[in-house]
Amino acid sequence: MKRLIILLTFMFSFIFAGCSPGPQSIFEPQKPSLNSLSATTSKESDKLETIQKELSDSLQKAASRKINVEPVMPVYDPLEDHIVSFSAVDENLQTVLYSLSKAVGINIIIDPKINDENKRLTLNFEKVSAATVLREVLGSFDLYYEATQNIIRVKPFEERTFSLNFLDTNLDTTFDVGGDVLGAGEADISTGLSGNFKMSGKGAKKSNPYDVIEGMVKQLISAKGGKYSLNRLSGNLYVKDTPSVIRSISILINNIKEMMSRQILIEARIIEVTLSDGYKYGIDWDMMRNSLSRTSMLDSAKWSGGTLALSGVTGAFTSSAAINALNTFGDVNIVSNPSIRTKHALPAIISVGTSITYKEKVKTTTYVDTASDRDTTEVETSKVFDGLILGVIPFIERDGTITLLINPIKSDVDMASLEPEGTGNESVSLPKVSIKEISTTIGLHSGDTVMLGGLIDKSKVRINEGVPFLSSIPLLGYLFKTDSMKDESRELVIVLRVSII
């Protein structure tokens, strides 16, 4: 009797313990503490960053090249050897040029088109080179000269060939949300994702550098006698025009080449935060900013274009302080850690997710003949994307300022909606896709970090709780465990670090 009382007391103690929310079934692992979870996540982040850096260093090794350095001799101008003092008052240009050539003993020939015009000037030079006098005189009338083989040739136009070396490509930059952007079908009739919900945005109308240069050259070229020829295959631009126009086109092309050569490295970290009950409506970004300002070596932490922009941070900050701060709001999981390079004004796309194939259309054809009837069934499939698409376009200024256009699109596919609906072979799938999108433009400097959030989705998860040991007893264990559904909120956080290279 005494042993029975002890056994019943032991059983009741486990039953009452099962009513408390503490222990779980042995089939369900115990959740780690917040401190251990934070340390584990930070350790995984640092390890992931180290692997990424080693991989990046191994892939980005510059090929060894032998550089042959040869001395470049300056262009010899015989007029630089002659020092003259020269004066004239309201004198004809041809007379001034003829007198200068006689003074230095060099032959001269003037284009007949210049002789037809009445050009007069007043000048006074004391002990300067003849080349300086000639440049200043001809520059006043926008004329060109060249001195070769002891002959000065004065011309109305200068000829020059510019080497462009751009890719002759057309980039149509658009951001579309919904419809066939998330699927892959372009059929005229679709019973799947209809694409009626759509948001669009477009970049510059002209993205081909040759089109841009040709349009600007047309505006600069002289109406009287100016000519140009653009060869896209060889990447050369030939211009014949006055020296002032040639200088303007040269400045224009040099600026475009310098601008198009700028590159940027974008290091992204895509983090998913399973929000705790206290923050089920999302991360408190004001708290996040204050937390980062206190615990990190930051120059500034401010809002810019609806995002949290952090200045004066390092890669170690991204992998430690940010994740530790995010752990305040729930469990942190690093989804992906991509990096990508792109040039000025060229779009970069980062895609993380799964492309799911579903049955879009079924067509059954019945053939009737004298022997027997036969049916032929054709099935068309399409794809829908489940995950994150991140589009980025950088604009890099000369002073290192970066204007970044960011457009993340988060799509969540309801897997239950992919089950075919209908009867027999005529069943098709009607995917249900939840879309969340952010579009913003922000200003940064090289080395700054941007954090984007607000992409929250909710789902139901099954929770299994029970009394340890007793819940695992066959049949009888159902009395000591409970199964329930719980709403779970997750927020996607995108951390971008930009560096000019």
What does the domain layout of the chain look like in residue ranges? 83-156, 157-171+205-261, 265-500
Q: How confident is the model at residue 107 (pLDDT cuts 50, 70, 90)?
A: very high
pLDDT, tens only, 234-257: 899 999 999 999 999 999 999 998
What is the pLDDT at residue 135?
92
- The pLDDT mean for the chain works out to 75
pLDDT, tens only, 331-370: 888 888 888 888 888 888 888 888 888 888 877 777 776 5
Residue 309: how many other CB atoms lie within 10 Å = 21
What is the pLDDT at residue 15?
42
Domain over 83-156 is classified CATH 3.40.50.10860:
no
Q: Do 86 and 101 meet the contact criterion of CB atoms below 8 Å apart?
A: no
User: Cα–Cα distance between 165 and 235 in angstroms, integer?
Assistant: 5
Q: Do 380 and 410 meet the contact criterion of CB atoms below 8 Å apart?
A: no
Q: One fold for both 83-156 and 157-171+205-261? A: no
Q: Comparing C-alpha atoms, which of 284, 285, 332, 290 is closest to residue 308?
A: 285
Read off the pLDDT of each residue in 454-477 and give the average, rounded to a whole number: 73
What is the pLDDT at residue 240?
95
Read off the pLDDT of each residue in 150-157 and give the average, rounded to a whole number: 92
pLDDT, tens only, 484-497: 777 788 888 888 88
Q: If you classify domain 157-171+205-261 with CATH, what class do you get? A: alpha beta
Torsion angles phi and psi, residue 82, rounded to 5: -110, 125
Read off the pLDDT of each residue in 444-461 and give the average, rounded to a whole number: 80
The CA dihedral of 314, 320, 326, 332, to the nearest 10 degrees, is: 120
Residue % of the chain over a pLDDT of 90: 19
pLDDT, tens only, 187-224: 444 444 443 434 455 555 567 889 889 999 999 999 88
This prediction's pTM: 0.63
Radius of gyration of the chain (CA): 37
User: Cα–Cα distance between 482 and 18 in angstroms, integer?
Assistant: 10
